Structure 1
Amino acid sequence: MNTATIPAAPLDGVATGPPRRTGWHALDVTEVRHLTADTVAVTLDVPAALRDVFAHHPGQHVTVRHRRAGTELRRSYSVCPPPHAPGTLRLVIKRAGPGGFGDHATTRLARGDRIELSPPTGMFALPELPCAHHVLLAGGTGITPLAPMAAHALRRDPACRVSLVHSVRTSADAVLADELAELKDEFVDRFTVLYVLTREDRGSGGGPLARRLDASGVHRLLAAVDARPGPDTTFALCGPSGLVATARRVLADGGADPSLVRWELFTTDGTESGPPEPAGRAARAGEARVTALLDGRRRAATVLPHDPALLDALLRTHPDVPYACREGVCGSCRAKVLSGQVTADRQHALDERDRAAGYTLVCRARPCTPEITLDFDA
């Protein structure tokens, strides 16, 4: 998962100090429940000694580390806590193909197994705007951060409204639909859920409807839930890059305040996301020195000419440096450039505000100057 947002206020009972982004913790699997043919909900027990470590905001994610055949896989998943189950943490995991962690989780993971996770991180959250209309648009498993965000907003602010649109291929792919129905029953006057089925059989011999949401479709959906851009309407988008990009364009054309539009991706389509970071030729002819601040400690490494990114140099001597996808999607390696210059492409997890503030994704960044200083804690 990745994000381009501003932090929200913490939940009641959640520690307010700087989050620790490093370290791994093995949690016991208490349940593996199949939601669809290729998606499972994995519930994990969080012992009392780790409750503070895994305290989180709705919308945050964890990184799973899976070791297999001498290799290490890392994947990021949104925290989607089960209703009425304190002391647990739940991940909704989809099988993307053979050999990955999703394949392992959907075919072999069982109660009693253990999973290694990093502490929750990320800044995907609804703006703290009282009496607002929160409009949420999810594509596929992009529902996993948005469902807990909807529940939290409804319970935190008795004057707010929440409208959630979930685009899925068929009704069988609408994960968490039962929980959203219960939430609708609890907040019948303030919560609206609308499903868009892009490949559902239309019946009467019409065959399946196989079409992605385009700009006009997004317009119609926003009108259907009475979502009008304004100072009291917020938007949160999560799903494939094409859907999120289309919705962002529609909202921008409609005059939505960019600070009230939050978004996160879970897949990309290979397109670039914004321009490279500050102009300059990457320092490929020689070595560069990178210093990183992480959890209040300084780490230093030498970037060699053949290193694909700053992350590779840091990992050689500091394996606790956070990362997951290496594709600029999850945002786990987000850091602020304090000195020096970098260039980077495929910065899907950053928006214009992040770039203007000096942030980069270390998995995509390359040096433009001989000395670089990064702050992962910023």
Structure 2
Amino acid sequence: MNTTTAPPATADTPTPTPPAEPAASRRGGFHSLRVAGLLRPTADTVAVTLEVPAALRAVFAHRPGQHVVVRHRRPGGELRRSYSLCPPPDDPEALRLVIKRGGPEGFGAYATSRLETGDRLELSAPTGSFALPELPPGAHHVLLAGGSGITPLAPMATHALRRDPACRVSLIHSVPTSADAVLADELARLKDEFVDRLTVLHVLTREDRGSADGPLARRLDAAGLRHLLAAVGARPGPDTAFALCGPPGLLDTAREVLAHWGADPALVRWELFTTQPASHAQLAPHTPPPGPVSAAEARVSALLDGRRRVAAVGPGDASLLDALLRAHPDVPYACREGVCGSCRAKVVSGRVTADAQHALDDRDLAAGYTLVCRARPDTPEVTVDFDA
């Protein structure tokens, strides 16, 4: 568990209330968008292009690495699922989601089997801080994806190659078989466009390739990853950056290898990806932290889209999110596991204690950010800022 405390304030320092944010940056609420096109990159995925009306173009302007939350209403309740924005290389401003089937009761099952052109989906505005570090021209960007973790990294590769004509991009994609390599055709066309600057390697973890061996025909372990770093000519230094997106095991291995290899931690960006988000009922119950404050005595204020929302934290609330949602259903969230980062907010007053917050890195924690789906009050009053 970790504890996040707001920066110190004097008696003369008021609780900050930011001015109203421009529409493009607002995080609360959902917008109904028409499905303009459907493609099926693999047998169990669908690429969904959304039509963005002129009035919402500023709201849905996005950059590589950001994601949206899809709200799917159905009998018995609603589902929320976060998806990285993954426009095709030839249309980087398109609003496109690549959705994998997943479990039989999830939104992915609905999207891959029943969604049709002309249907409408409810989407939040784009959000997220996952991005390539800013480096001087000529940098080497090494991208590592596991499964559907390719969806934020492919647009990152396209953006880097087109923005910096001197840079190199090496993209390593670990998938069970070649049939699972979503976006392989688009990456092949991108490779043709940047033949001297883009390297794409697919690591096939379950495909029988006869006599083939080596890191491209087995599960990507530490030894295989070190081999691949050497193969793409990656060297630790100020001109080599890394972006990682995949399941927990792959990311744990990659971060450990890069740390021992000598990569600058500030140049390693990562985003955790899970294919089976647990329902809230499936999550392990929270245990109240030790201390003088009980949940029944606490109150949380949330700043969102320039407005303040206040809620009492009840004894049955597992998190700040539970308390806020009772009165304010527009508060952003998706997975409730601390994975997607949709409920990221900065603690500007008071203190919270939180369970594992996978979507936050050390920089986020040091700056005072928390995930309200994992955070509980540790002081009688807590204020969090979603707009920060």
- TM-score, length of structure 2 as denominator length: 0.87
CA deviation after TM superposition for structure 1 residue 173, in Å: 0.4
Aligned to 2:270: 263
CA deviation after TM superposition for structure 1 residue 68, in Å: 0.5
CA deviation after TM superposition for structure 1 residue 87, in Å: 6.2
1: CA distance, partners of 2:79 / 2:23: 30
Aligned to 1:198: 205
2:125 aligned with 1:115: no
Q: Does the 8 A contact of 2:24 with 2:59 survive in 1?
A: no
CA RMSD of aligned residues (A): 2.3
Q: Which of 74, 82, 86 lines up with 2:88 in the alignment?
A: 82
CA deviation after TM superposition for structure 1 residue 205, in Å: 11
Aligned to 2:35: 29
CA deviation after TM superposition for structure 1 residue 82, in Å: 2.3
Aligned to 2:222: 215
- Which segment is superposed worse, 318-327 or 30-39? 30-39
Mapping of residues 125-136 of structure 1, within 5 Å: 125-130=131-136, 131-136=138-143
Residues 150 and 32 (structure 1), Cα distance of their counterparts in 2 relative to 1, 3 Å cut: same
Q: Deviations over 1:293-312 (max 9, x none)?
A: 11111111100111010001
Aligned residues: 355
CA deviation after TM superposition for structure 1 residue 152, in Å: 0.4
| 2:322 partner letter | D
Partner of 1:247, secondary structure, is helix
2:187 aligned with 1:180: yes
- TM-score, length of structure 1 as denominator length: 0.89
2:71 aligned with 1:61: no
Residues 16 and 83 (structure 1), Cα distance of their counterparts in 2 relative to 1, 3 Å cut: farther
2: CA distance, partners of 1:83 / 1:234: 21
2:166 aligned with 1:159: yes
CA deviation after TM superposition for structure 1 residue 200, in Å: 0.7
Mapping of residues 1-378 of structure 1, within 5 Å: 19-85=25-91, 88-130=94-136, 131-203=138-210, 211-267=218-274, 281=291, 283-284=293-294, 286-378=296-388
Q: Deviations over 1:279-326 (max 9, x none)?
A: 854844632111111111111110011101000101111111110100
CA deviation after TM superposition for structure 1 residue 355, in Å: 1.2
| 2:227 partner letter | R
- Which segment is superposed worse, 134-143 or 292-301? 292-301
1: CA distance, partners of 2:353 / 2:253: 26
1: CA distance, partners of 2:71 / 2:103: 17
Q: Does the 8 A contact of 1:283 with 1:305 survive in 2?
A: no
1: CA distance, partners of 2:261 / 2:69: 36
1: CA distance, partners of 2:186 / 2:305: 37
CA deviation after TM superposition for structure 1 residue 269, in Å: 9.6
| 1:340 partner letter | G
| 1:157 partner letter | D
1: CA distance, partners of 2:341 / 2:78: 19
Task: Structure 2: state its 5+ residue gaps.
Answer: 1-20, 278-285
1: CA distance, partners of 2:109 / 2:276: 21
CA deviation after TM superposition for structure 1 residue 204, in Å: 6.0
Residues 164 and 314 (structure 1), Cα distance of their counterparts in 2 relative to 1, 3 Å cut: same
- Which segment is superposed worse, 334-343 or 166-175? 334-343
Partner of 2:25, secondary structure, is coil
Partner of 2:296, secondary structure, is coil
1: CA distance, partners of 2:361 / 2:292: 22
Residues 226 and 280 (structure 1), Cα distance of their counterparts in 2 relative to 1, 3 Å cut: farther
| 2:250 partner letter | L
Residues 313 and 285 (structure 1), Cα distance of their counterparts in 2 relative to 1, 3 Å cut: closer
2: CA distance, partners of 1:210 / 1:226: 20
Task: Structure 1: state its 5+ residue gaps.
Answer: 1-14, 271-275
